[in-house]
Amino acid sequence: MFFSRKAKPLIDRVAAILASYFSIEADITAQWCADKLDADQAIGDKKADNTKADHETPSNTFTINLPFCYKTQQATIKAYVLEALKGELTEQQLIVSQHIASGETKNTAVNNIKNIIAVASGKGGVGKSTTSINLAFALMQEGASVGILDADIYGPSVPIMLGNTDAHPHSTDNKHMQPLSAHGLVANSIGYLVPQEDAAVWRGPMASRALKQLIDETLWPVLDYLIVDMPPGTGDIQLTMAQQVPLTAAVVVTTPQDLALADAQKGISMFEKVGVPVLGLVENMSYYQCRACGTKDYVFSKDGGEILAERHGLPLLGQLPLDITVREHADAGTPLLVSAPESPLSESYREAARALSMQLALTVAPRTQQSKHIKGDPIGVNSKL
Ligand SMILES: Nc1ncnc2c1ncn2[C@@H]1O[C@H](COP(=O)(O)OP(=O)(O)OP(=O)(O)O)[C@@H](O)[C@H]1O
């Protein structure tokens, strides 16, 4: 009965310590704390999701169960809490773990996929696909199971960035596809299925139907996050896709330039219109840092993403530099975060991924509806369109 008398106050104190660490409300952080001797009090909305972790926890321990992915920071969080508790818990007694819950969706959710996140941009060429793939790997490195769906029907670039352009998904029943896997990331793309020239001439309904098939007919493993690299723009096609896919949330990528920001604003409005919460903005190509002297040049203007985010009351999830290595890794099909995980650039993506994951956990309600796999028509994207 190690904690029996102190359990409540300890939970409250750890919650307050976490609140100060993350700079957020204490009453939310209280939900993340559980004392093994009082495991049923894993308080709040995430209770059901926490149950598994609680049962696996050894006795006489105190568990912090984060509802977002923060794996690379767990040791730091643990040290921070232990230090703040001034010896009240030993290192062995404090466990920091994470369990990502399924977020609510407007449309019936897809079985196996806890959260589908659209990465969109109002304007082409701002680095949406590059950001999507790097965020996907960053989320993985933060401990999440992640897939990527290349919905950029008119310019699928996921196969290039993963270095597997000649690969094709297999099917054993001619109805469902096994997604491809590259460096642990599961992926599917129209680029694996049809020659680009074919997809490039599809009209809106064909494109959105193809996307729906890719979601419904891919045998996704259990995923915490499926990142959907959307086609650029905010036209009818994007709107239909945003409505058809059971999206949990969206992220909008922009450069700091006025022109891109005006389009990013349209992107935010589009998701608002279809009731998909926007988690925040990612500003790409924020600056160029000279390798020789370290000077930062704001090639595409400065602070644009921050101003737009403020205007919409959204967080700026990340600011990524214009850097030749980002482009080189994308072109070579050697993902940056896999090839150079320790680089400051990779850390910038992980920082954005942590912010994204945390924002989703804090702002999107946990799923209450039963998820159902909606089986579409058999595969045959080409012949049917
Ligand atoms: N931060 C960056 N630093 C350097 N190059 C970048 C960066 N982000 C993207 N790029 C490069 O810019 C080009 C466009 O990027 P990407 O294809 O990701 O943009 P997109 O918004 O998805 O484009 P599209 O509108 O065609 O879908 C690519 O050559 C990519 O390698």
Integer angstrom CA distances of residue 270 from 129, 203, 235, 265, 274: 19, 20, 9, 9, 7
- Say what the pLDDT of residue 203 is: 66
Q: Which residues pair with 289 in a beta bridge?
A: 296
Atom in ligand 1 nearest the alpha carbon of residue 253: 21
* Structural domains of the chain, ranges and CATH numbers in brackets: 7-98 (no CATH), 116-363 (3.40.50.300)
280 φ, ψ (degrees, to nearest 5): 160, -175
pLDDT band at residue 202 under the 50/70/90 scheme: low
Q: With beta carbons less than 8 A apart as the criterion, state whether 220 and 186 touch.
A: yes
The whole-number average pLDDT for the span 114-118 is: 95
CB 182 within 8 A of CB 136: no
Query: Would you state the pLDDT for residue 16?
Result: 94
- The top-scoring range by mean pLDDT among 102-111, 187-196, 345-354 is 345-354
Model confidence at 179, pLDDT cuts 50, 70, 90, reads very high
- The predicted pLDDT at position 157 comes to 92
The sheet carrying 62-66 orders its strands as: 33-35, 62-66, 94-98
Model-wide pTM > 0.90? no
Q: Is 129 annotated among the ligand-binding residues?
A: yes
Cα–Cα distance between 126 and 130 in angstroms, integer? 9
What does the mean pLDDT of the chain come to?
85
Q: Which of 134, 327, 346 to mutate to test the pocket of ligand 1 (most atoms within 8 A of CB)?
A: 327
Q: How far does residue 4's CA lie from ligand 1's centre (Å)?
A: 55
Nearest atom (ligand 1) to Cα of 130: 18
Does the pLDDT at position 67 exceed 90? yes
Residue 116 has pLDDT above 90, yes or no: yes
pLDDT range class, residue 2, cuts 50, 70, 90: very low
- Residue 123 assigned to a binding site: yes
Instruction: Give percent above pLDDT 70 in the chain.
Output: 85
Residue pair 188/149 in contact (Cβ under 8 Å)? The answer is yes
Contact indicator for 278, 132 with CB cutoff of 8 Å: no
- d(CA 260, CA 358) in angstroms, rounded, equals 26
**122: annotated binding-site residue?**
yes
Q: Is 86 annotated as a binding residue?
A: no
Query: Candidates 119, 121, 123, 129: which one to mutate for ligand 1, based on the most atoms within 8 Å of Cβ?
Result: 129
Q: How confident is the model at residue 347 (pLDDT cuts 50, 70, 90)?
A: very high
* Ligand 1 atom index nearest CA of 232: 25
Is 235 part of any known ligand binding site? Answer: no
Q: What share of the chain is helix, strand, coil (3-state, %, to 5)?
A: 40, 15, 40
Tens of pLDDT, residue by residue over 70-86, are 999 999 999 999 999 99
> Pocket of ligand 1, candidates 129, 130, 299, 328: which has the most ligand atoms within 8 Å of its Cβ, to mutate?
130
Which among 358, 291, 263 has a CA at the least distance from the CA of 318?
Answer: 358
Ligand 1: residue whose CA is nearest its atom 23: 125
CB neighbour class for 9 (10 Å; exposed up to 12, middle 13-18, buried from 19): exposed
Nearest Cα residue to 139 out of 169, 98, 180: 98
Atom 1, ligand 1: residue with shortest CA distance = 322
Relative to the CA of 284, which ligand 1 atom is closest?
1
Q: How confident is the model at residue 196 (pLDDT cuts 50, 70, 90)?
A: low
How confident is the model over 7-66, as pLDDT tens digits?
A: 468 999 999 999 999 999 888 899 999 877 544 444 333 444 444 444 455 668 999 999
Cβ density class 145-172: b for 16+ within 10 Å, e for less: bbbbbbbbbbbbbbbbbbbbeebebeee
**Residue 124 among known ligand-binding residues:** yes
Write out the two tokens for 237: 């096609």
Q: State which ligand 1 atom lies nearest to the alpha carbon of 331.
A: 31
pLDDT at 161 over 70: yes
Atom of ligand 1 at shortest range from CA of 327 = 31
The pocket around ligand 1, CB under 6 angstroms, is made up of 121, 124-130, 152, 155, 157, 232, 284-285, 320, 322-323, 326-327, 330
Distance from CA of residue 184 to its chain's centroid? 15
- 8 A C-beta contact, residue 122 and residue 267: yes
- In 10 A of CB 4, how many CB atoms? 9
